[in-house]
Homo-oligomer: A and B are copies of this chain.
Amino acid sequence: MAADPRFFRAGAALTLAEAAAAAGGELVGGDPAQRVTGVGPLHEAGPDAVSFLDNRRYLPQLAGTKAAAVVIAKDFAARVPEDVAAIVTANPYLGFGRVARALFPAPAPRPGIHPTAVVDASATVGEGVEIGPYAVVEAGAEIGAGCVIGPHAVVGAGVVLGEGCRIGAHASLSHCVAGRLVVLHPGARVGQEGFGFAVTPEGRFETMPQLGRVLLGDAVEVGANACIDRGSQGDTVLGAGTRLDNLVQIGHNVRTGRACVLVSQVGVSGSTTLGDGVQMGGQAGTTGHIAIGDRAQIAAQSGVMSDVAAGEVVGGSPAWPLRETLRAFATLRKLAAKPATRG
């Protein structure tokens, strides 16, 4: 299956030799001169397409694939069918992605400001920026060269975007300083007031002034409809390369290191800090004011109530070391299987 031309403009076809080169892999079997024009999953890819295998789960599909070539690790190369070429590489997923990118180059910005966009006279807009219909760029904002601002996006007063950022449709930013190559997907909310209030003696809630910012490192990506509140006095900080999936919540004053990965619907409460390379599975959450160490891994749906050491792997709600949690549930299951009277 080639990508739908309604939505994706194909570049030039590649020979298998070129595809192997793009993948940084070795072509085994197949005709180096054979042309491929698309990519697809094993069960859908046709003789004009390249596929990949990165998960044993799909070995059965490998046996039946009609792909021209499969990007694959050395260990599985022997399992590729007779009439299918193998592109052997240590990192099939990365290699496959590079073949796909070579076949379907990312659309370049179309420099220019749509006539319906409202760009304040005091805003500065860099070289080659594309600003879409009904986008709003407020006073004093700075848009770096090569940025693409989607339809209806709102870049608030004073916001700074580095070079090559992509801001999706309906995304909003305020009180934010972003580095280069930052990506906000549609509907992402960055820089709004955090959830901070004090209780008066009369029992009324009084909003605490939220006087901090959001600092986004280079190449940070923020998923659709995800939310990042600005700091209350200090800043909310996402380290370079950190990626948030859709509907993730980042409370005020949260700080993450570089290259953290927060899967969809994760929630990080205010003033919690994450080290470098922390990974949180979908729907996991943390309480506020705790510290998660470098490269810690938080299983999906975990509820982290206290500090997690560097490299630790935790799960469950409340979260314990994942091994203990799994053992505990196995034990519980065994107990529950016994006659209730023995419970």
A15 an interface residue at 8 Å Cβ cutoff? no
Which one of B116, B199, B261, B332 contacts A118 once the chains associate, using CB atoms below 8 Å? B116
B169 touches A205 (CB 8 A): no
A246 touches B227 (CB 8 A): yes
With A158-B7, A249-B247: A100-B134 Cβ-Cβ less than 8 Å: no
A152 an interface residue at 8 Å Cβ cutoff? yes
B206 touches A97 (CB 8 A): yes
Which one of B169, B234, B335 contacts A154 once the chains associate, using CB atoms below 8 Å? B169
Min CB distance A232 to B, Å, is 8
A179 an interface residue at 8 Å Cβ cutoff? no
Residues in B with CB closer than 8 Å to A206 are 94, 97-98
B133 touches A198 (CB 8 A): no
Min CB distance A4 to B, Å, is 6
A8 an interface residue at 8 Å Cβ cutoff? yes
User: In this complex, which of A44, A118, A152 has the most chain B Cβ atoms within 10 angstroms of its Cβ?
Assistant: A152
Which one of B168, B198, B233, B317 contacts A1 once the chains associate, using CB atoms below 8 Å? B233
A209 touches B104 (CB 8 A): yes
A126 an interface residue at 8 Å Cβ cutoff? no
B198 touches A94 (CB 8 A): yes
Interface size range on A against B? 35 or more
B225 touches A97 (CB 8 A): no
A245 an interface residue at 8 Å Cβ cutoff? yes
A73 an interface residue at 8 Å Cβ cutoff? no
A261 vs B225: C-alpha distance in the bound complex, in angstroms?
A: 21
Residues on A close to B: CB < 8 A? 1, 3-4, 6-8, 39-41, 44-45, 51, 55, 57, 91, 93-94, 96-98, 100-101, 104, 106, 114, 116, 118, 132-134, 136, 140, 150-152, 154, 156-158, 160, 168-170, 172, 174-175, 177, 185-187, 189, 192-193, 195, 197-201, 203-209, 211-213, 219, 221, 223-225, 227, 229, 233-234, 241, 243, 245-247, 249, 251, 253, 259, 261, 263-265, 267, 269, 282-283, 285, 287, 289, 300-301, 303, 317-318, 320, 324, 327-337, 340, 343
- In the complex, 14 of the A-B residue pairs with CB atoms within 8 angstroms, ordered by the A residue number, are A6-B160, A7-B158, A8-B211, A97-B198, A98-B206, A114-B118, A170-B170, A249-B265, A264-B267, A318-B329, A324-B336, A328-B333, A331-B340, A335-B343
